[in-house]
Chains A and B, each alone.
Chain A
Amino acid sequence: MKEHPSRWWYALLALPLVGLLYPPLYATRDPEIAGIPFFYWYQFAWVVVSAVLTLVVYLATRRR
């Protein structure tokens, strides 16, 4: 019987919700990057961050 991976890793997946569910955190125009308001690039950045987090959790909870 191989060791069962821990489901505690799933807690990392709460981060995108924390980062996005409270818009006052990011509903601003500044700081801009190349003319793109913070509100927009912040959310685009979360696409990448959440994908990386999911990948990390996937690898950590995979049966080896």
Chain B
Amino acid sequence: MTLALISEPHDTNTTALVVFVTLFGLVTVLGFVAVRWRQAKLDHLDEWGLGGRRFGTVITWFLLGGDLYTAYTFIAVPALVFGAGAIGFFALPYTIMVYPLAFIVMPRLWSVCRANGYVTPADFVLGRYASRQLALLVALTGILATMPYIALQLVGMQIVLGALGVEGDWPLIIAFVILAAYTYQSGLRAPALIAIVKDTLIYVTIIVAVIYIPSKIGGFGAMFDAAEKALPTRDTPGALIPAGANAQVAYATLAFGSALALFLYPHAITAVLSAKSAQTVRRNTALLPAYSFLLGLIALLGYMAIARGIDPSDPNFAVPDLFLNVFPSWFVGFAFAAIAIGALVPAAVMSIAAANLFTRSIYKAYLRPQASGAEEAQMAKIVSLLVKIGALVIIVTLPTKYAIELQLLGGVWIVQTLPAIVVGLYTRWLHRWALIAGWAVGMVLGTLMAASQDFAPTYPLELFGTTINAYTGVFALAANLVVTLVLTFVLRRAGARDAGDDTRAEDFDELAEDAVYPVRGAPAPVA
């Protein structure tokens, strides 16, 4: 099979498997029952695709946390720390920086989307710039960046199934068919409910791990000492502390660029828009750092694996093998279920987000402008199935390497929508054709740079006689912004007209009281 890249022989662990299957069964039931939760007619895209925009602070916290911290994160971040050391730790400053940025920008996006009935960022771009082309590009970028991300959730699930000694593709296919079925039926309500279970399992697993495992490896001091000894001996030598300008610039730009990209992903915006008020979004960005702390601890699992002498054939098995080594079977089942269920929530939200984008910006914009709310919801449900099947086909037929490379490119791509979406929240000065040109330059340049480095995340740019080794996405975004600004200036000087703007200044006021929003466009959700 093509899954060879991340397979490693493991004995079947019956106790762990029973616990795993039981927990998986529990969330399956939840997924289907979710349709009755805060029941409403799911024949409107606001209801199926945004849960009726009614989620309060607590549900939004679980949903956003469950959505942003994916199964692949739990596997890949400690795997990178295990294999390369400090550079893998960039995930921590990344998630620290992302919330202050989101605190400023996301409530504003929520407000304008709520006031105008926008379901996706592409809806906002269409309303703001009256450009179907720009909206289409934003939607396509979102779908393109999301597909490999869904595929990687399958990789996360595959790794824990492999570690449990489960062979073949069938368990994975069954799990995904179940996921597809309840997402189709319940929409965003399913992952919102399952996220509560997922996040609880993850918190318990990690808290137990960071209390229990250090006692087995001689404490945190011994752990860092072991890592400091082992990392320089890797094939590509790693380090406990990033030393030298190259490593440090890479570290900072990876963190910053990833932070800029995260809330542009359709699945992040979908979860934000499902909140019931701008206040809910603001409150959440102040509460979400709890997950950042958790992520930092998860990253340290990579060093714990080193200190414990774990020697997997593939670094992705570092954490699963560590758990198998130190925990009793029943807790291994619990922890692995946490990771696998951790794949379900993001995969569901991502497929819903991609489906919303397709339905609004391609189906309704180009194929069936007269589509009713019910038709939109039906189309989105079907597309959510197709998106998942696509991800499954990618994983079962192509080497995992491609999904990982595509996901890296996805980050470089999605950040190219920043000028249209984020800058667009503050000013209409940027011209739609300049935004399109900037987007194109960023996409092409970012893709070529990444390909030239064999899809390593950084690019060594020769500039003014020195080499700057930074995250490709940051370079591509810089080029995008320069082109957009210069062209806008030229177009404005040449007297180019704007096509129109549906939004009003007061739509953007994220500090306004929620009641003042006059809802236009889609019908208001029933309270």
Can you name the residue of chain B whose Cβ is closest to the Cβ of A46?
B96
Contact A16 B97 (CB under 8 A): yes
Is B310 engaged at the interface, CB distance under 8 Å to the other chain? no
Q: Chain A contacts of B286 at CB under 8 A? A: 51, 54-55, 57-58
Contact A21 B256 (CB under 8 A): yes
Can you name the residue of chain B whose Cβ is closest to the Cβ of A57?
B103
> A4–B283 Cα gap in the complex (Å)?
18
Contact A27 B241 (CB under 8 A): yes
Is B224 engaged at the interface, CB distance under 8 Å to the other chain? yes
> A63–B242 Cα gap in the complex (Å)?
44
Q: Chain B contacts of A53 at CB under 8 A? A: 100
Contact A35 B219 (CB under 8 A): yes
Contact A36 B511 (CB under 8 A): no
Is B424 engaged at the interface, CB distance under 8 Å to the other chain? no
Q: Give residues 259-300 of B contacting A (CB, 8 Å).
A: 279, 282-283, 285-287, 289-290, 292-293, 296, 300
Is B99 engaged at the interface, CB distance under 8 Å to the other chain? yes
Is B404 engaged at the interface, CB distance under 8 Å to the other chain? no
Is B344 engaged at the interface, CB distance under 8 Å to the other chain? no
Contact B89 A43 (CB under 8 A): yes
Is B252 engaged at the interface, CB distance under 8 Å to the other chain? yes
Can you name the residue of chain A whose Cβ is closest to the Cβ of B253?
A21
Please tell me which one of the listed residues A10, A29, A57 contacts residue B241 in the complex, with CB atoms under 8 A apart: A29
Is A8 engaged at the interface, CB distance under 8 Å to the other chain? no
Is B93 engaged at the interface, CB distance under 8 Å to the other chain? yes
Contact B97 A20 (CB under 8 A): yes
Can you name the residue of chain B whose Cβ is closest to the Cβ of A14?
B100
Please tell me which one of the listed residues B224, B251, B512 contacts residue A36 in the complex, with CB atoms under 8 A apart: B224
Contact B99 A54 (CB under 8 A): yes
CB within 8 Å for A54 and B219 given contacts A4-B511, A23-B242: no
Contact B222 A58 (CB under 8 A): no
B193 to chain A, nearest CB (A): 26
Contact B242 A54 (CB under 8 A): no
Q: Chain A contacts of B93 at CB under 8 A? A: 20, 43, 46
Chain A interface main SS type: helix
Contact A50 B221 (CB under 8 A): no
Interface size on A, residues (CB 8 A): 39
Please tell me which one of the listed residues B100, B241, B293, B513 contacts residue A28 in the complex, with CB atoms under 8 A apart: B241
> A53–B71 Cα gap in the complex (Å)?
29
Q: Give residues 12-52 of A contacting B (CB, 8 Å).
A: 13-14, 16-17, 20-24, 27-29, 32, 34-37, 39-40, 43-44, 46-48, 50-51
Can you name the residue of chain A whose Cβ is closest to the Cβ of B300?
A40
CB within 8 Å for A23 and B221 given contacts A28-B241, A50-B99: no
**Residue among A20, A32, A61 facing the most chain B CB atoms (10 A cut-off):** A20
CB within 8 Å for A16 and B293 given contacts A4-B511, A21-B256, A54-B285: no
> A32–B221 Cα gap in the complex (Å)?
9
Contact B252 A21 (CB under 8 A): yes
Can you name the residue of chain A whose Cβ is closest to the Cβ of B293?
A47
Contact A47 B289 (CB under 8 A): yes
B218 to chain A, nearest CB (A): 10
> A4–B516 Cα gap in the complex (Å)?
14
Q: Chain B contacts of A47 at CB under 8 A? A: 92, 96, 289, 292-293, 296
Please tell me which one of the listed residues A34, A39, A54, A61 contacts residue B100 in the complex, with CB atoms under 8 A apart: A54
Please tell me which one of the listed residues A2, A5, A23 contacts residue B251 in the complex, with CB atoms under 8 A apart: A23
A45 to chain B, nearest CB (A): 10
Q: Chain B contacts of A21 at CB under 8 A? A: 97, 252, 255-256
Can you name the residue of chain B whose Cβ is closest to the Cβ of A33?
B220
CB within 8 Å for A39 and B241 given contacts A55-B286, A63-B513: yes
Is B482 engaged at the interface, CB distance under 8 Å to the other chain? no
Contact B252 A43 (CB under 8 A): no
> A4–B513 Cα gap in the complex (Å)?
10
Can you name the residue of chain B whose Cβ is closest to the Cβ of A21?
B252
Can you name the residue of chain A whose Cβ is closest to the Cβ of B244?
A27
Can you name the residue of chain A whose Cβ is closest to the Cβ of B296?
A44
Interface CB pairs A-B, < 8 A, 27: A16-B100, A17-B100, A20-B93, A27-B86, A27-B242, A29-B240, A34-B220, A35-B219, A35-B224, A35-B225, A37-B240, A39-B240, A43-B96, A44-B296, A47-B96, A47-B289, A47-B292, A50-B100, A51-B99, A51-B286, A51-B287, A53-B100, A54-B100, A54-B286, A54-B289, A61-B282, A63-B513
User: Which are the 5 A-B pairs with shortest beta-carbon distances?
Assistant: A35-B221, A13-B100, A51-B289, A23-B248, A54-B286
Given contact pairs A35-B224, A51-B287, A54-B289, a sample of 8 additional A-B residue pairs in the complex whose CB atoms are under 8 Å apart: A16-B97, A23-B242, A29-B241, A36-B220, A37-B241, A44-B92, A48-B289, A61-B282
B→A interface (CB under 8 Å)? 86, 89, 92-93, 96-97, 99-101, 103-104, 219-225, 240-243, 248, 251-252, 255-256, 279, 282-283, 285-287, 289-290, 292-293, 296, 300, 511-513
